[in-house]
Amino acid sequence: MFPSMSRVLALASVVAVVRAAPAHGQDSAAAVLVPGDVVRITVWRQPELSGEFRIMSNGAIGHPLYQAINVRSMPVPALTERVRQFLATYEQNPQFTLEPLVRVAVGGEVRQPNLYTLPLGTTVSQAVAQAGGATERGNLAHVRLRRGGRTQNLDLISPRATDPGPIRSGDEILVGERRNSLRDVIGPLASVLGAAAAIIVATRQ
């Protein structure tokens, strides 16, 4: 049995997203977390100090102990060192990992529109894939990226399209709608013809 057209289109959209996602290094050297972002800390054999913690409005890490650390204007490498110094007050040579997650909104014609916290280095295409990929009506050649008060139109399918680089905290990604000739052209035309026919009938009565 052949797959339905909707399944074919859905698979094609996911494949297009994967193809369009170039590899980026994690640009953590200059990255700064802002309120609403999340930091994932994993401390070896210390579950009470491990987890995902949101950055609060005052810049502190949302944890009873980590709240002593304020990340405002602190680059990620400096934050990592600051966490190391803090953990060193509990044990010598602490073993831990720290992963910053930035907050982005993905909406429009995607399967799971939502507010996501994603790792630094994630591309726009990967963010769309995280939201389930484009719907059957979605158009990956028409994606809008709102960043820092500016809007940029992106084509996630063409290999020659401009690459906006990895996502940044506060990005808004909106997948546009695929043009449907039957709905957008023939449908309105049929309505006009129907209205004209109704007028003609009315004038002949």
Quick one: which of 155, 151, 113, 152 has its CA closest to 132? 113
- Rounded to the nearest 5 percent, the helix, strand and coil shares of the chain are 30, 30, 40
pLDDT of residue 10: 45
Given a cut of 70, the residues of the chain with pLDDT beneath it are: 1-29, 180-205
pLDDT of residue 26: 44
Helices (H) and strands (E) in the chain, counts: 5, 7
Question: What's the pTM?
Answer: 0.73
Residue type, 69: I
State the Cα–Cα distance between residues 92 and 162, nearest whole angstrom.
47
Calculate the average pLDDT of the chain.
82
